Amino acid sequence: VEIKAADAGRIVCGIRVPANLANGYGTLHGGAIATLIDCVSTMAVLTVGGTNTGVSIDLSITYVSAARIDDELEIESKVLKKGKNVVMLSAEVRRAGKNGEIVASGHHTKFFS
């Protein structure tokens, strides 16, 4: 995963789908998509002054379309709200390029003590 852009409250990363993250259908495994959303949205917390990664208290993902081996993807995450102990984030996984077809979208809530 490569960081493409980052500013306060937003981060964009890119990845080329590797064969070792594919399922038996030759598409990116849903668990790998969940991990990408988890990790990239956690990185978004660091763009608003977070000093640790906290713990997930909710992670919701909607799978929209399949990503195949060697597809170029972008994962964008935004901080929706940052409170004293809870941060709410959104994330979107889409095909890179003009089309930008959505592969999955998610919401992630993290707790910080």
Q: Residue 13 pLDDT > 90, yes or no?
A: yes
pLDDT score for 98 = 73
Q: What is the rounded CA–CA span in Å between residue 22 and residue 92? A: 19
Domain ranges (residues) in the chain: 2-111
φ and ψ at residue 32, rounded to 5 degrees: -70, -40
Q: What is the rounded CA–CA span in Å between residue 87 and residue 7? A: 16
pLDDT score for 60 = 98
pLDDT tens, residue by residue, 25-67: 999 999 999 999 999 999 999 999 878 889 999 999 999 999 9
What is the CATH number that goes with domain 2-111?
3.10.129.10
Please state the pTM of the whole predicted model. 0.94
pLDDT score for 87 = 96
pLDDT tens, residue by residue, 63-107: 999 999 999 999 999 999 999 999 999 999 999 987 899 999 999
Q: What is the rounded CA–CA span in Å between residue 20 and residue 2? A: 17
φ and ψ at residue 50, rounded to 5 degrees: -65, 140
